[in-house]
Amino acid sequence: MATGEDLRRMALSLEGTTEAPHFDRMAFKVARIYVTLAADERTANFKFTPDEQQFKCMMLPDAFSPVPNAWGRQGWTTADLARLGAEDLENALRTAVAHAQPRKPLRR
């Protein structure tokens, strides 16, 4: 059973991650936001690709669900932290942070 503190600790241990307010949530980002934590620290929204989202929701349907709007169609996925183990949370964070890395400059 994961908690908001677990998410915060694990996210901030990932290289380059910072934490800052984002509307009514806390956001964790490198170059871009990859996860947000609800104010009550019970749920988090992760940035996955649509394929990753589908896989997570299939494998752990009690824990993961698409955000119910256009953000969800882009891969943003809500997790009920209490339904995640530490390994599942760490895997979700590592998957999401991969999408938040700085983009490489174009070669000329």
Q: What is the pLDDT of residues 73-95, one digit of tens each?
A: 999 999 999 999 999 999 999 99
pTM: 0.93
Q: Convert the pLDDT of each residue in 30-40 to its tens digit.
A: 999 999 999 99
Side-chain half-sphere exposure of 107, counting CA atoms within 13 A: 0
Amino acid at 45: N
As a 3-state breakdown, the chain gives helix, strand, coil percent values, each rounded to 5, of 40, 25, 35
Tell me the one-letter amino acid at 54: Q
- How is the chain split into domains, by residue range? 4-100
Mean pLDDT of 43-65: 98
Does the pLDDT value for residue 106 go beyond 90? no
Question: Tell me, which fold does domain 4-100 have in CATH?
Answer: Aspartate Aminotransferase, domain 1 (3.90.1150)
Q: Please, what is the Cα angle at 20 between 15 and 21, to 5 degrees?
A: 150
The rounded distance, in Å, linking the Cα atoms of 20 and 24 is: 11
